[in-house]
């Protein structure tokens, strides 16, 4: 596994490097939306007693389009004209199931999911949606704080899946003629977030990252997620200080947090869930990859 993890890390670096120009474009789009001008401080310093005026038109255009598109809720529809009669008999149940699951997941996160989907589509023309099994979520959080575990259980009682809209600049999909082949995500977070999401496994991994076995929940680190059609990998990078001959140096530690093989969970999704999610994908031109850790949908407009 270590050799395979090394190859995965190299693959992840290649994906990140290949998307440098894309991320630069995304940053420019965000700067227009948030009315951020990189030269503002320099211009203010050089030209005194002048009030700068920035055009709000890009932001207003995006906000206007968002309001139009979120005026109605998403409608999930199973195509009746291309399915068999037996499939059409279950279409209504599938549509109601998809709608209820989408609505429940949005209530848990506190904001309707399609709000972020629409914003991502308008700003970046790219949408990344992570689909997480709440049953697995309960298992992952074992060993975390009791309140975190109880919240995960309550979530699992409400909906079988959660939908997280990720920022496209933090995700690096790899495509082929058959759809999504691999996906890499790199995000800066804290030790506390990792511990809340991975429970005792995270605590064990974080202790190994620190020489003194103690770590702060607010310690910054980089969380890396990679999976393809066969395996899933999660590893952490944490910068820590150490003394070498009395001189303080900065170290970067790496540790594998999770390694799973797709073959160990062939029946991870129930038949109803599989059909439902595939129907949802067919209506949105997205590609779904079933994974033991999560199920991911990446849509390109």
Element (H, E) at 147: helix 146-158
DSSP code for 230 = S
Res 76: pLDDT? 87
Which residue, 75, 77, 74, is CA-closest to 282?
Answer: 77
Res 23: pLDDT? 96
Higher-pLDDT residue of 272 and 196 is 196
Dist CA 261 CA 228 (whole Å):
10
Res 4: pLDDT? 83
Res 243: pLDDT? 47
Is residue 130 within 8 Å of 296, Cβ to Cβ? yes
Q: Can you spell out the DSSP letters for 36-62?
A: --TTHHHHHHHSTT-------HHHHHH
Instruction: Delimit the domains of the chain by residue range.
Output: 73-300
- 215-to-145, 186, 190, 220, 272 alpha-carbon distances in Å: 16, 21, 11, 10, 43
The angle formed by the CA atoms of residues 14, 15 and 21, to the nearest 5 degrees, is: 105
pLDDT at residue 111 is higher than 90: no
pLDDT at residue 227 is higher than 70: yes
Is residue 130 within 8 Å of 161, Cβ to Cβ? no
pLDDT at residue 99 is higher than 70: yes
């Amino acid at each position: 596994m270590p050799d395979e993890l090394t190859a995965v890390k190299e693959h992840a670096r290649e994906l990140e490097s290949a998307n440098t120009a894309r991320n630069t474009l995304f940053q420019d789009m965000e700067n227009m939306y948030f009315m951020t001008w990189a030269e503002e401080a320099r211009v203010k310093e050089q030209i005194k007693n002048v009030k700068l005026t920035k055009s709000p038109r890009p932001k207003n255009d995006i906000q206007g389009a968002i309001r139009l598109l979120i005026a109605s809720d998403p409608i999930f529809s199973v195509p009746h004209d291309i399915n068999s009669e037996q499939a059409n008999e279950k279409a209504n149940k599938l549509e109601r199931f998809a709608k209820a699951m989408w609505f429940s997941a949005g209530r848990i996160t506190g904001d309707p999911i399609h709000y972020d989907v629409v914003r991502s589509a308008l700003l970046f023309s790219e949408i990344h949606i992570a689909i997480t099994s709440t049953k697995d979520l309960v298992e992952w959080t074992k060993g975390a704080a009791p309140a975190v575990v109880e919240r995960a259980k309550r979530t699992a009682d409400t909906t079988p899946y959660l939908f997280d809209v990720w920022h496209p600049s933090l995700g690096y999909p790899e495509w082929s003629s058959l759809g999504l082949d691999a996906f890499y995500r790199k995000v800066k977070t804290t030790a506390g977030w990792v511990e809340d999401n991975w429970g005792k496994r995270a605590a064990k991994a974080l202790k190994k990252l620190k020489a003194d076995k103690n770590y702060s929940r607010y310690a910054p680190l980089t969380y890396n997620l990679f999976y393809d059609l066969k395996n899933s990998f999660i590893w952490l990078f944490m910068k820590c200080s150490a003394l070498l001959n009395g001189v303080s140096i900065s170290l970067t530690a790496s540790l594998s947090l999770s390694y799973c093989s797709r073959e160990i969970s062939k029946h991870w999704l129930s038949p109803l869930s599989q059909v439902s999610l595939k129907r949802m994908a067919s209506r949105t031109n997205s590609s779904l990859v079933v994974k033991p850790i999560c199920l991911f949908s990446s849509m390109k407009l």
